Structure 1
Amino acid sequence: MSKSPFLETVRENIRLRGYSLRTEQTYLHWIRRFILFNGKKHPQDMHAVEVRDFLNWLANKRNVAINTQKVALNALVFLYKHIVQHELGDLGFTHAVKQRFLPVVLTPQQVLSIIEQLNGHHKLIVSLLYGSGLRISECLRLRVQDIDLTNLSLTVRDSKGHKDRQTLLSAKLTEPLQQQIAAALQVQQQDNVKGIGPSLPYALSRKYPNAFRQPGWMFVFPSTSLCPHPLTGELCRHHLHDSIIRKALAPAVAACQIRQRVGCHTFRHSFATHLLQNGCDIRTVQELLGHNDVSSTQIYTHVIGQHYAGTISPLDRS
């Protein structure tokens, strides 16, 4: 299925429109599942009825989360709009209603105790997740040009929803970031001698063939090994894989005897919750997290038991 001429056409169309590699992989996954669900019928021979049945099956039989169903819908809308060139119209499918759980949030003391258990770039990465509210993928994709040590800010590029944003940078991380950047640039210089550099967006590498030599494009957290570029096949150096951070995090959490389930995203949740607890405006937190809708940010007001600004139990006022 993965090498079918039709799916290769879809892949080329996705790349032509500048979507990220992760979006490409996700869309192809759901389009492939849609085709398999319908007995390998060609999408050209299927219409809104088959799409509706597939989305209903995800909700009623597979019990997927509503966000998962939305991603599948986006993939199929892309398929029919840009490939099949047929508008689906109002599908009238059943929306997934799987319960949304409150995120796990640590106390500031717990966060700091975990960070103190880490060393080197592991410690710096987790500090950035908490100090700047980053997703792990956003942190590992940071390039030298995204770090503003003067204004203490980070630029997160091509994040969820295909948008850029700026967020905070802790002053405490200035020195370790300078050291990490210096080490990364040394790796780049060694690679450049061999005609190799950091992996770049495909269109950029074609337009500026020597961009891999510019310090600004180097990853702050480069991988320890070289790999083929996923689009061009050329040898390059990518950023660290997120599994490396997860492996380092597990023993650190265990050493702190924390019983909650802690992952990389827990530090982003804690960042937002602690800002709100300290009186930060919810709209500001929304912008720092990069949420499209403030309703996504409001989940953290439920975590701290203040569903509306300044609201406390009437018993506490008596």
Structure 2
Amino acid sequence: MVLMAVGTGLRRSELFALKWKDVDFAANHLSVTRSIVSQVVGVCKTEASQKPVPLHESLAQALLEWHRHTSFRKREDWVFASPHSNGKRPYWAQAIMRYHVAPASRRIQLQKRVGWHTFRHTYATMLKQVGTDIKVMQELLRHSSVRCTLDTYTQAIMPAKRAAQNAVLSLIFAEVQSKPSETCTVLHP
């Protein structure tokens, strides 16, 4: 589940609402057609949310392995069907977080609190880090606007900030070094 969340940027409501019929292994993509919040199935957040999501080969292999492992393999079954409900409902996202993800994050001594949305933010930040075009990012995250992608889901990482600062300072110092005969005057009020 975590691999799917961080590898696709799906919202928690979309991840847990996936059914096997939504997974196209031949074309390697997911169809996001519904969401589930508090065990209530509904429509997706926005029209843009319903666009297909590419499925990397490694994620497809992980899903195939899960398909072999789970007892709930029919097209109408939830991808992450809960055995506690005999497959009639997906796992409860908060229970997975509380009993599995949070303890694992404590074991590896993560300093920040981890939630399902953390994986979506991480996906967005990594897309930006590898130089993904902003329009592609918007579509991968299935946002209705580029503004939402920029304002909410990306953050500048320290190496990128340092590289930007270094580039500016190299211009400044190159300018100063090219005019060695001029002196710098500091004005005091």
Q: Does 1:129 align with 2:14?
A: no
Q: In the aligned structure 2, how far is the partner of 1:294 from the partner of 1:152?
A: 25
Equivalence for 1:166: 52
Deviation string for 1:140-161 (max 9, x for gaps)?
1111111122332211113212
- Deviation of the 1:276 alpha carbon: 1.2
Within the alignment, does 1:315 sit opposite 2:169 as a pair?
yes
Residue 284 of structure 1: CA displacement?
Answer: 0.8
SS at match of 2:83: coil
Residue 24 of structure 2: which of 148, 165, 173 is its match? 148
Q: Say whether the 8 Å CA contact 1:143–1:217 is kept in structure 2.
A: yes
Cα distance change, pair 316–273 in 1 and its aligned pair in 2 (3 A): farther
Establish whether residue 223 from structure 1 lines up as the match of residue 82 from structure 2.
Answer: yes
Describe the shift of the 1:246–1:302 C-alpha distance in structure 2 as closer, same or farther (beyond 3 A): closer
- Residues 153/187 of structure 1: CA separation in 2 closer, same or farther (3 Å cut): closer
Q: Quick one: higher RCO (CA 8 Å, sep 6+), 1 or 2? A: 2
Does the C-alpha gap of structure 1 residues 170 and 317 become closer, same or farther in structure 2, counting only changes over 3 Å?
Answer: farther
Deviation digits for residues 102-130 of structure 1 (CA, Å, limit 9, x no counterpart): xxxxxxxxxxxxxxxxxxxxxxx000011
Q: Given the alignment, which residue of 257, 263, 270 partners 2:115?
A: 263
- Sort the Cα spacing of 1:225 and 1:291 in 2 relative to 1 into closer, same or farther, 3 A: same
**Residue of structure 2 equivalent to 1:283:** 135
- C-alpha displacement of 1:300: 5.9
Mark the runs of 5 or more structure 1 residues left unpaired by the alignment.
Answer: 1-124, 189-214, 228-235
* Percent identity between the two aligned chains: 30
- In structure 1, the partner of 2:176 is none
C-alpha contact 1:223 1:238 (8 A) present in aligned 2: yes
The one-letter amino acid of 2:143's match is H
The two structures, once aligned, show a CA RMSD in angstroms of: 2.5
Change (3 A) 1:317 1:164: same
Deviation at 1:261, TM superposition (A): 1.9
| 1:1-318 correspondence runs (5 A) | 125-158=1-34, 159-161=44-46, 163-184=49-70, 186-187=71-72, 215-226=74-85, 237-247=88-98, 248-299=100-151, 303-304=155-156, 312-313=164-165, 314-315=168-169, 317-318=171-172
SS in 1 for 2:26: coil
Question: What is the rounded CA distance, in whole Å, between the counterparts of 1:289 and 1:317 in structure 2?
Answer: 35
State the one-letter code of the partner of 1:151: A
Deviation sequence 1:58-115 (CA, Å, 0-9, x none): xxxxxxxxxxxxxxxxxxxxxxxxxxxxxxxxxxxxxxxxxxxxxxxxxxxxxxxxxx
Deviation of residue 181 (structure 1)?
2.0
| Contact 1:272-1:300 at 8 Å conserved across structures | no
Deviation at 1:302, TM superposition (A): 5.9
TM-score by length of structure 2 reads: 0.72
- Counterpart Cα distance in 1 of 2:93 and 2:75: 22
Supply the distance in 2 between the matched residues of 1:269 and 1:175 (Cα, whole angstroms). 24
For these two proteins, the number of residue pairs brought into alignment is: 155
Number of the residue aligned with 1:96: none
Q: Which amino acid in 2 is paired with 1:161?
A: T
Alpha-carbon shift at residue 289 of structure 1 (Å): 0.9
Inter-partner Cα distance in structure 2 for 1:305 and 1:187: 40
The runs of 5 or more residues in structure 2 that have no matched partner are: 35-43, 173-189
Is the 8 Å Cα contact of residues 128 and 154 (structure 2) preserved in structure 1? no
Contact 1:144 1:218 in 2 (8 A): yes
Counterpart Cα distance in 2 of 1:317 and 1:167: 41
Offset at 1:293?
Answer: 1.3
